């Protein structure tokens, strides 16, 4: 939530900041602002709305000659409101009473009310409702105590803050200098040929450099215009961190000819699955390899329980992982919302394996769940997409999914990569525990290798046209229901989330066996006589032991006025007799069906969203990384 970017160097800072903010808009997009260092003052420009509106305001200021000569130092912010409504006053950067300090912040200052009251008593005047503004005023005070030492003023300020923050700060008396710091919020620092940068996430700086550094909690970095960076630990001791090279490049962060990132990312899925499978199979010993897990066969058989913790789409991937781990590894598995788990004193022992799934690796609740599990002595394995993310520092071991950068707020390719990775992991654990043999594992791996080509089949023009037709049938509805059984039900949970988050069409998913216990009452009976009133029911009906039961459920829904859209195995004649709205899925083992069936559900959600005029990449009220509780 919220994206920050900072640059100082020998070139114009404005395109660096605005370009960076555009790439961070997935983190929040209700208002944006920049603070630019001019020779004698800090000039702040903020706007409610997206970075585009800010860009227009900056262009106007340039045309009016307000920015003088090219500014080479500045900070920027794109906001996802937590404290105070999204308006210009609450937009960052925030300033102190003198106007000399400018601060951008991502995170939440938990003790802001107390600090604000104390600062007000000491005569400070506040201009916004944000938690962030206290930081600017504290720096103002601390700077008076240590005049000339901005880094020290920031350090003593930060010592008074509780909560999460990534901060970038500039000061009118320190031209060409930026101070950045972080605690429980991400921040990456990079060195380019023409200056130094800091940002909430690598996409904001990848255009300028792939050589980056990650700060530890409460470390402070001072960025100088000449390209040098001083790093300090919380005690103020200087250190030299190791640089990390980012493996993906700018092209990955661009739309590459697609109308939106979501479609681009959906189309990247065959490659993502290929990359996930690469190097995972030892065909000599018929084993799935998971060297990162770093648990011996003995330790693995000592594991007596698995708890998967995650949020949102990652939670749904966890539900699929549970089914496979239990079925193959014969281990009890619980899947918990990280936000619930962290507050409920869960049962954890040294024999508990906690698997924390997070695309971003920075979801606040998931991170807290990991810390709690570690404190209780459990072994924590993180599954994430982001190198250098917080979760990689908190867990015992890390498995990276190979989704590469995902920009659209709605997770698509990262979900498929998580499910594929969990499938491999479940097979690995089952084999380590002696529950399955090499032949079984080889066969599974062979089937998985066919997945990329099968996903390609789902992305052809003919296949997507069929999905678009079904989407058009539903776009005007008030509510849509998803039903499935087994892994089909879990696929539905994710399908319904995708639909509601990007199209704002209310959607709920149910295990089909449950519909008679309540959900069937939602079917509008007027649908029996008026096709416009038919409630859409999306039924995931792939081949499984419960296939006949699914057909019965479909008929029950239709008998009450539902319009059924069925996802079914290609060539399924029985489904074709029940409904004209069929989306065909290539034949696949049931355990792998979520990987295929999720793809048309993603496209379905996207088509409905487009028909309803929604922005598929930046749905309202959402952000890609939820770094606050
Ligand atoms: C946000 C995103 C979702 C994501 C969830 C968990 O709500 O909009 O797409 O599934 O966070 O994120 P994580 O990065 O932990 O997987």
Measured in Å, residue 561 CA sits from the centre of ligand 1 at 35
Residue 570 backbone dihedrals phi, psi, to 5 degrees: -50, 135
Distance 625 CA to ligand 1 centre (A): 6
How far apart (Å, rounded) are the C-alpha atoms in residues 615 and 102? 32
Tell whether the model's pLDDT for residue 248 goes beyond 80: no
Query: Which tokens is 19 given?
Result: 């370009």
CB 180 within 8 A of CB 171: no
Give the pLDDT confidence of 324-354 residue by residue, as tens digits: 999 999 999 999 999 999 889 899 999 999 9
% of the chain at pLDDT higher than 70? 100
H helix runs in 41-105, sequence order: 51-63
**pLDDT tens column, 392-414:** 999 999 999 989 889 899 999 99
Q: Kindly give the distance from the C-alpha atom of residue 206 to the centroid of ligand 1, in angstroms, as a whole number.
A: 22
311 lines ligand 1 (CB under 6 A): yes
Where residue 294 falls among pLDDT bands split at 50, 70, 90? Answer: confident
Mean pLDDT computed over every residue of the chain = 93
Any idea which residue has 């004649």 for tokens?
573
Residues 109-119: pLDDT tens digits?
989 999 999 99
Q: Which residue, by CA, sits nearest to atom 1 of ligand 1? A: 624
**Two tokens at 364?**
């606040």
**Res 370: pLDDT:** 97
Q: Is 429 helix (H, G, I), strand (E, B) or coil?
A: helix
445: pLDDT strictly greater than 80: yes
Contact 130, 94 (CB under 8 A): yes
With a CB cutoff of 8 Å and minimum separation 6, the contacts of 435 are 328, 329, 330
pLDDT at 28 over 90: no
Question: How many Cβ atoms are within 10 Å of 476's Cβ, its own excluded?
Answer: 12
The three-point CA angle 249-254-256 to 5° equals 110
| Residue bearing the CA closest to ligand 1, atom 8 | 624
pLDDT per residue as tens digits for the range 260-272:
999 999 999 999 9
Distance (angstroms) between ligand 1 centre and the Cα of 588 equals: 28
237 Cα to the center of ligand 1, angstroms: 36
Instruction: Please tell me if the CB atom of residue 204 comes closer than 6 angstroms to any atom of ligand 1.
Output: no
Q: 576 pLDDT exceeds 80?
A: yes
Atom of ligand 1 at shortest distance to CA of 311? Answer: 6
Stretch 524-546: mean pLDDT, rounded? 91
Tell me the CA–centroid distance for residue 262 and ligand 1, in Å.
14
Distance (Å) from CA 336 to ligand 1 centroid: 15
CATH for 3-253 (3.60.20.10, 2.40.40.20, 1.20.1440.230, 3.40.50.720): 3.60.20.10
Rounded distance between C-alpha atoms, residue 393 and residue 537, angstroms: 43
> Is 591 within 8 Å of 488 (Cβ atoms)?
no
Mean predicted confidence (pLDDT) in 134-156: 96
Residue 108 has pLDDT above 90, yes or no: no
Question: Does residue 359 line the site of ligand 1, with CB under 6 A?
Answer: yes
Alpha-carbon Rg for the chain, nearest whole angstrom, is 26
> Which residue's alpha carbon is at the smallest distance from atom 5 of ligand 1?
312
Which pLDDT belongs to residue 184? 84
Decide: 9 in ligand 1 pocket, CB within 6 A.
no
* Ligand 1 lined by 366 (C-beta under 6 Å): yes
Q: Where in the chain is the domain with CATH 3.40.50.10490?
A: 265-449, 456-611
CATH class assigned to 265-449: alpha beta
What integer pLDDT is reported at residue 394 of this predicted model?
93
In short, whether 411's Cβ falls inside 6 Å of ligand 1 is yes
Higher pLDDT: 344 or 418? It is 418
| Beta-carbon-side half-sphere exposure of residue 102 (alpha carbons within 13 Å) | 31
The confidence score (pLDDT) of residue 34 equals: 98
- Residue 491's closest CA among 547, 532, 444, 541? 541
Distance between first and last Cα of the chain: 11
- Buried b / exposed e over 183-209, threshold 16 CB at 10 Å, is bbbbbbbbbbeebbbbbbbbbbbbbbb
Topology of domain 456-611, per CATH?
A: Rossmann fold (3.40.50)
Decide: residue 494, CB within 10 A, 0-12 exposed, 13-18 middle, 19+ buried: buried
pLDDT at 544 (0 to 100):
86
Parallel/antiparallel/unpaired status of strands 305-310 and 562-569: unpaired
Active site residues: 2, 624
Q: Pocket of ligand 1, candidates 1, 201, 313: which has the most ligand atoms within 8 Å of its Cβ, to mutate?
A: 313
pLDDT category at 302 given cuts 50, 70, 90 is: confident
Report which protein residue has its CA nearest ligand 1's atom 13: 358
The atom of ligand 1 lying closest to the CA of 310 is: 15
Could you tell me the two tokens for 333? 């598995």
Average pLDDT estimate for 364-386: 95
The answer, yes or no, to whether residue 253 has pLDDT greater than 80, is: no
> Is residue 510 over pLDDT 90?
yes
Please state the pTM of the whole predicted model: 0.81
Give me the phi and psi of 492, to 5 degrees please.
-65, -40
Q: What's the pLDDT score for residue 161?
A: 96
Query: CA 79 to CA 114: how far, in whole Å?
Result: 23
The sign of the dihedral angle between the CA atoms of 603, 607, 608, 609 is: positive
Residue 155 has pLDDT above 90, yes or no: yes
Nearest-angstrom CA–CA distance, 465 and 302: 50
Smallest CA separation from ligand 1 atom 7, residue? 312
The pLDDT of 285-313, averaged and rounded, is 89
Residues of the chain with CATH 3.60.20.10: 3-253
- Atom 2, ligand 1: which residue's CA is nearest? 624
The finding on whether 314 has its CB within 6 A of some atom of ligand 1 is yes
pLDDT for position 86: 86
């Amino acid at each position: 939530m919220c994206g920050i970017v900072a640059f100082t160097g020998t070139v114009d800072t404005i395109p660096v900041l605005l370009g960076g903010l555009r790439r961070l808009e997935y983190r929040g997009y209700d208002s944006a602002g920049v603070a630019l260092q001019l020779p004698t003052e800090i000039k702040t420009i903020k706007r409610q709305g997206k970075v585009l509106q800010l860009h227009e305001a900056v262009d106007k200021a340039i045309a009016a000659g307000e920015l003088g000569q090219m500014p080479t130092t500045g900070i920027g912010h794109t906001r996802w409101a937590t404290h105070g409504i999204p308006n210009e006053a609450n937009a960052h950067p925030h300033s102190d009473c003198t106007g000399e300090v400018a601060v951008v912040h991502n995170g939440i200052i938990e003790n802001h009310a107390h600090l604000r009251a104390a600062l007000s008593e000491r005569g400070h005047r506040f201009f916004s409702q944000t938690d962030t503004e206290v930081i600017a005023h504290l720096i103002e005070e601390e700077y008076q105590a240590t005049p000339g030492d901005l880094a020290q003023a920031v350090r003593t300020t930060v010592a008074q803050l509780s909560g999460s923050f990534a901060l970038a700060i500039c000061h009118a008396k320190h031209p060409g200098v930026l101070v950045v710091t972080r605690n429980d919020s991400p921040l990456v620092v990079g060195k380019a040929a023409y200056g130094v940068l800091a940002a909430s996430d690598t996409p904001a700086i990848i255009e300028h450099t792939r050589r980056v550094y990650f700060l530890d909690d409460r470390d402070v970095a001072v960025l100088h215009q000449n390209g040098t960076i001083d790093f300090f630990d919380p005690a103020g001791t200087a250190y030299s961190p190791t640089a990390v090279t980012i493996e993906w490049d700018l092209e990955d962060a661009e739309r590459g000819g697609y109308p939106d990132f979501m479609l681009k990312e959906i189309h990247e899925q065959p490659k993502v699955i290929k990359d996930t499978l690469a190097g995972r199979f030892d065909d000599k010993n018929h084993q799935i390899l998971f060297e990162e897990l770093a648990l011996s066969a003995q330790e693995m058989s000592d594991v007596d329980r698995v708890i998967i913790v995650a949020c949102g789409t990652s939670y749904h991937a966890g539900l699929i992982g549970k089914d496979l781990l239990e079925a193959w590894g014969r281990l009890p598995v619980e899947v918990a919302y990280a936000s619930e788990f962290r507050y409920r004193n869960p049962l954890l022992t040294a024999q508990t394996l906690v698997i924390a799934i997070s695309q971003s690796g920075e979801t606040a609740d998931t991170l807290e769940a990991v810390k709690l599990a570690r404190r209780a002595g459990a072994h924590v394995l993180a599954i994430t997409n982001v190198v250098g993310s917080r979760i990689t520092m908190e867990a015992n071991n890390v498995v990276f999914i190979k989704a590469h950068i995902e920009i659209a707020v709605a997770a698509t390719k990262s979900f498929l990569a998580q499910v594929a990775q969990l499938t491999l992991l479940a097979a690995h654990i089952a084999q380590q525990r002696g529950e399955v043999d090499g032949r079984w594992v080889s066969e599974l791996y062979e089937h998985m290798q066919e997945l990329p080509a099968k996903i390609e089949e789902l992305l052809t023009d003919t296949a997507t046209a069929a999905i678009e037709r079904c989407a058009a049938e539903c776009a005007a509805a008030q509510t849509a229901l998803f039903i499935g059984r087994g892994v089909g039900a879990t696929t539905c949970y994710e399908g319904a989330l995708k639909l509601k988050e990007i199209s704002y069409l209310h959607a709920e998913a149910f295990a089909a066996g449950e519909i008679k216990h309540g959900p069937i009452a939602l079917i509008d009976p007027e649908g029996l006589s008026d096709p416009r009133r038919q409630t859409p029911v999306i039924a995931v009906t792939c081949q499984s032991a419960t296939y006949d039961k699914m057909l019965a459920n479909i008929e029950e829904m239709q008998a009450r006025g539902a319009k059924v859209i069925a996802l079914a195995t290609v060539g399924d004649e029985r489904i074709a007799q029940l409904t004209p709205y069929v989306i065909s899925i290539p034949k696949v083992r049931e355990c792998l069906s979520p990987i295929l069936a999720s793809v048309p559900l993603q496209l379905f959600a996207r088509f409905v969203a487009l028909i309803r005029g929604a922005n598929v990449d930046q749905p309202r009220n959402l952000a890609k990384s939820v770094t606050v509780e």
